[in-house]
Structure 1
Amino acid sequence: MDEQTVFATVAQTLEDQFQVEKDEINLETNFQRDLGADFVDLAHFIVELEDEFGDVIPDDAAEQIDTVQDLVTVIVKNTPKQK
């Protein structure tokens, strides 16, 4: 899955869950600083994304996610390649 597709899905899910406009979300958006998300918020958000992408976000990687770019990178890296 390519980065643009993943970003579009992440941005849509952020818009729905955090009530922010998609045009306010970019790869540098920080979950805590920019969205006011705490660890619990991020955990719920990751569960939502795993409904969409499958179980592609390892627990140890989830602890290292600070920005949208971090999240997109983890999803792209761990999503099985389609043939």
Structure 2
Amino acid sequence: MARDPHSPLPTHPDPPHAPATAPTENPALLSQRTALILFMALCAGIGIGVLTFLAKRSYPEAVIAGVLPAGACAMGLHNVVG
């Protein structure tokens, strides 16, 4: 049935139809920003740890020297990367 072109439009249009299927895609575990910050902090920590190990030949000192700056780098990059 065709609508008369001179008649007014209905005041309440039909509601939009719901999609037939719900999206099945799972959300990402980490955002791209978070992954980038963690990757850069990890690279900095590994680099500092390797350089410390080459200088002192001590695994515990290298681990401590790598972990602490990696955490500080992650916090600093969180403020910088926007």
| Length-normalised TM-score, structure 1 | 0.32
Larger radius of gyration: 2
| Length-normalised TM-score, structure 2 | 0.32
- Which is richer in helix? 1
